[in-house]
Amino acid sequence: MADKKLVEAITSMETDFAQWYTDVVKKAELIDYTSVKGCMVIKPAGYALWENIQKQLDSMFKENGVENVYLPMFIPESLLQKEKDHVEGFAPEVAWVTHGGLNPLQERLCVRPTSETLFCDFYKNEVHSYRDLPKVYNQWCSVVRWEKETRPFLRSREFLWQEGHTVHATAEEAEERTIRMLNIYAKFCEEYLAIPVIKGRKTEKEKFAGAEATYTIEALMHDGKALQSGTSHNFGDGFAKAFEIQYTDKDNTLKYVHQTSWGLSTRLIGGIIMVHGDDSGLVLPPRIAPTQIMIIPIQQHKEGVLEKAEELAGMLHNFRVKVDSTDKSPGWKFSEQEMRGIPIRVEIGPKDIEAGKCIICRRDTREKIEVSFSELESKAAEVLETMQTDMLERARAHREAHTYTAADFEEFVKIFEEKTGFVKAMWCGEQACEDEIKEKLAVTSRCMPFEQEKIGDTCVCCGKPAKKMVYWGKAY
């Protein structure tokens, strides 16, 4: 009965996707709720995922000339006010510190929602000559945004992320860095998280407050909603002019720097859950899974079984491997391994030991493979690699099956009424059409993809000549 109950505790995805998601993050022990509304405890299983994301991304950043720094979490109000569009964009979500101890502060401090203004204040004293450029800095930190509606990982009042902030001599260098970082995010999502993404540019309406251009990677979740999974912004020289960040060029003239910023956060963990999970819980891509292999001894009270399980763990030392030697029943252990999304389990019992073999079971397909002890290491490597590739292909196939094209507004409306997913449609470039679409259908422009297609000549909304093909969708 107990074995059955563990799985029963998850609401089916098809019944209620939002409840399924909440059940999974709680039952897989990724998070816990706290007495601070909208904030969460990230438990060891959740934080280990973030550590793996951080470790891999940090290594990719460093290969691309990025250095890590750390700036304060407090921003004086006067500093935040310096870039008009920026402060207006963040004003509704800012948390303020008004007292230091018992004394009112002379100037309010905002708890960073993002650190552009602090980096600008820092760079204006750091950069003097063309010889000081470029500066390619990043910080791993938390930020605070006072969101009204919160959901674990997807939208919390405090979340973990990295934010890169760079300064360059020319507009071309800044643009190159902006695109380069977006490509790193896309590569990371596809190769490590098995999440396929659409790369493109945000519309003026959807771009970052204060940016000249915002680029994004958009992923499609199992329920057909989009998740903005990473963004990279080109600031041009707008912030530089607001903060007076100038340098002396080779020709001895004063010039403004060009800046970028880019960020990716713990909401990606939500993406992993919603792209790959199923009704039994998490399904973690092997390259990012904190535990890749769980060895489960069967009839472990019998002589030699636990010892053999530990011996197999030693043979698999090149992987992230654990032995579940708790006194729970094998059925319970299987359910728990599935709930936690551990890519493969190895089953070993007295009969297997006699026969010199064990069973490998894949989490995604439930396929069971009998393998001799001598072949276990090579077979485990092969299964993990196959699973990683299959998960990406499955997610890509799901996205393709839920991507539609609409030639006119009637078709556009019909698709969103009957289906879920991305809709590709032409757009005239006017915000009025974006506003109308959002108001009537609760749908936003996700991005203008780099790979443009011509679906027609006219805007899906107003019928005027079209300028761009846009991916539209409902988003988290």
- Structural domains of the chain ordered from first start: 2-276 (3.30.930.10), 293-383 (3.40.50.800), 403-473 (3.30.110.30)
Predicted local confidence at residue 34, as pLDDT: 96
Predicted local confidence at residue 370, as pLDDT: 97
Q: Report phi then psi at 372, rounded to 5.
A: -75, 155
**CA dihedral in degrees (23, 24, 26, 30; nearest 10)?**
-160
In terms of Cβ atoms closer than 10 Å to its own Cβ (0-12, 13-18, 19+), residue 334 is buried
pLDDT tens profile 159-214: 999 999 999 999 999 999 999 999 999 999 999 999 999 999 999 999 998 899 99
Give the predicted TM-score (pTM) of the model: 0.96
Q: Where are the alpha helices (DSSP H) in 95-237?
A: 116-126, 171-191
Give yes or no for a contact between 350 and 307, defined as CB atoms under 8 angstroms apart.
Answer: no
pLDDT tens profile 296-309: 999 999 999 999 99
User: Which residues neighbour 296 within 8 Å (Cβ) at sequence distance 6 or greater?
Assistant: 309, 324, 330, 333, 334, 337, 345, 346, 347, 348
Q: Which helix (DSSP H) or strand (DSSP E) does residue 167 occupy?
A: strand 158-168
In terms of Cβ atoms closer than 10 Å to its own Cβ (0-12, 13-18, 19+), residue 452 is exposed
pLDDT tens profile 33-50: 999 999 999 999 999 999
Strands (DSSP E) contained in 8-82 are 31-33, 40-42, 67-68, 74-76
Report mean pLDDT in 10-residue bins for the chain, 476 residues. Answer: 56 95 96 96 98 98 98 95 80 93 97 95 97 98 94 96 98 98 98 98 94 97 98 97 97 98 98 98 98 96 95 97 96 96 97 96 98 98 98 98 97 97 98 97 98 96 97 97
User: Which residues neighbour 386 within 8 Å (Cβ) at sequence distance 6 or greater?
Assistant: none
Integer Cα distance of 280 and 13 in angstroms:
10
Helices 171-191 & 44-63 angle (0-180, nearest 10): 140
